Amino acid sequence: MRSLTHHILRTRPIPPRNPRPPSRSLHPLRLFSTTFPLQSSPTIPYTPACPPSTCSCTPTPPGLDIDHKSPLLHTMPFYTSHVVVSTGKQDWTNRIEDEETPAGDFIRGLKGVVGRGGEMFDPFNNILISASSFPSTTATTTPQTILHLFPHFLSLALPTPSTPLLKTLTSSLLAAPTLHPMHNSLPAQAQTLLTRNPSLITTLPTPPSPLKTPTILICSHNTRDTRCGVLGPLLATEFESVLARTDIDAQVGMISHIGGHKFAGNVIVYIPPGWRDEDGSESGVAGMGIWYGRVGVENVEGLVRETLQRGRVVGELLRGGIVADRDGKGGAASLAGMVEEQVARERGEDGGLRLKARARR
């Protein structure tokens, strides 16, 4: 099985017209990579605006306090892996690790291993853990927790977690493929513990299965914030309706807090490698996890059309994203940085931005 590894691309920031004071620097984690940076960025197909819906849909509820003024780009939290834990619920306790369920046990255990203070905690390899509404168990006599891993695009069912099992999961799939240079001073044993070892995949109780269709995740964590609690279920219903009308095979799930409630609705679209556009060509966004914000019910049809059918990122709703490795050498890039670089290359002579949509074939 080919190892799927990834890193965060370092990109040159675009100087603003009125430079900010030096004290306003990027988050330190964004300045480093867990492996070598990619030498060049691929072209990202995008369209500046989300097209309007062509049919009537449930209106977005009025009165929600949504931030429509702050910039969206680069508001996605830094992460290298996303572990989505199936719970069968669409709302959770304020902290998902406090859930008194088998899925909660798994989340608690994994955070205890890879979270701050955990034995395998790596500040340069942030692992995002979310609870999801996907069914929580498999049809087996032994209870199992179902995981979806991104940008690995893998599904995995594991029994009641133990610390050794969670460490094996982390070592085989979630740890950094190459350590950040700041770890060079660690003892060799500690460096080995923090470095990915794909050969351990074969020691997991069940082998992972590839996810071959898109996964759409929508924040619905009402206990954390009612904006996502209100919009999440409405968006999920509309996505399912649009996907059924367009005959697209994709799974839709609601997830716990991912940050940015003021930008509700918050949607992540994970598109597997090899995904094809409506014209049969390989999608320009295959292998990506695209984070959208300020998504209303009226935007769902446009997002499905542009991102899933035409392989384009919708610029006005983009928070960021992650791009899985495509060349087999390991690595992933920051989607926000790649789009930002591309837009900079397409600046007009007057300094304005010309967002050019990819021509349809």
| Same-domain pairing of 216 and 310 | yes
- Report the pLDDT averaged over residues 91-116: 95
306: Cα within 13 Å, side-chain hemisphere: 26
Structural domains in the chain (count): 2
Statement to judge: residues 89 and 234 lie in one domain = no
Tokens of 128: 């995002």
Is the domain of 146 the same as that of 196? Answer: yes
Specify the long-range contacts of residues 180-186, CB closer than 8 Å, at least 24 apart.
180/32, 180/33, 180/34, 180/122, 180/124, 180/125, 182/32, 182/124, 183/122, 183/124
pLDDT average, residue stretch 90-108: 95
Are residues 185 and 218 located together in one domain of the fold? no
User: Integer distance in angstroms from the first to the last C-alpha of the chain?
Assistant: 34
In a domain, 21, yes or no: no
- 8 A C-beta contact, residue 90 and residue 234: no
What is the domain extent for residue 91? 81-210
Q: What is the pLDDT of residues 64-83, one digit of tens each?
A: 999 999 999 999 998 999 99
Q: Is the pLDDT of residue 101 over 70?
A: yes
- Whether residue 308 lies inside any domain: the answer is yes
Q: Is 361 within the bounds of a domain?
A: no
Tell me the per-residue pLDDT of 19-29, one tens digit each, with 9 for 90 and over: 444 333 333 33
| pLDDT value, residue 348 | 59
Question: Where residue 140 falls among pLDDT bands split at 50, 70, 90?
Answer: low
Name residue 347's beta-bridge partners.
353
Give, in order, the Cα–Cα distances in Å from 179 to each of 7, 122, 197: 10, 9, 12
What is the mean predicted confidence (pLDDT) over 340-358? 60
